[in-house]
Amino acid sequence: MRRMSKQQKTPVRMYSIPYCPFCVGAKQMLDELQIQYEDIDISGEPDRRAFTAQILPGHYSAPLILIGDEPIGGYDELRALHGGGELLPRIFEDA
């Protein structure tokens, strides 16, 4: 879990693989934005593609990021939400 300074209203969870560059990028972005998240290592999953597709059909890679109970996709989708000004209001109160 990461430390936060604002009041976070929505939990964030990430299914990731330690050596995945997109996972590292997503973690860096969340850390820079001071977003607290739960990081779940799926490197030991025998079929990671099936695991992630079970949560978000059609998503076969890591990271898989959830805001609350809603899967948003991976690093590209996280960046798009932030770039569009939609990420912080979904996570923080009064953002």
H/E run at residue 30: helix 21-32
The residue count of the chain comes to 95
CATH class of the domain at 16-94: alpha beta
Give the Cα separation of 95 and 88 in Å (integer).
6
Question: By percentage, how much of the chain surpasses pLDDT 90?
Answer: 80
| Per-residue pLDDT reduced to its tens digit, 57-93 | 999 899 999 999 999 999 999 999 999 999 999 999 7
Q: Look up tokens 């850390």; give the residue.
A: 31
Q: Where are the domains of the chain?
A: 16-94
Residues 6+ apart with CB under 8 A from 38: 1, 11, 12, 13, 14
Q: How far apart are the first and last CA of the chain?
A: 21
Give the pLDDT confidence score for residue 95 in this predicted structure: 57
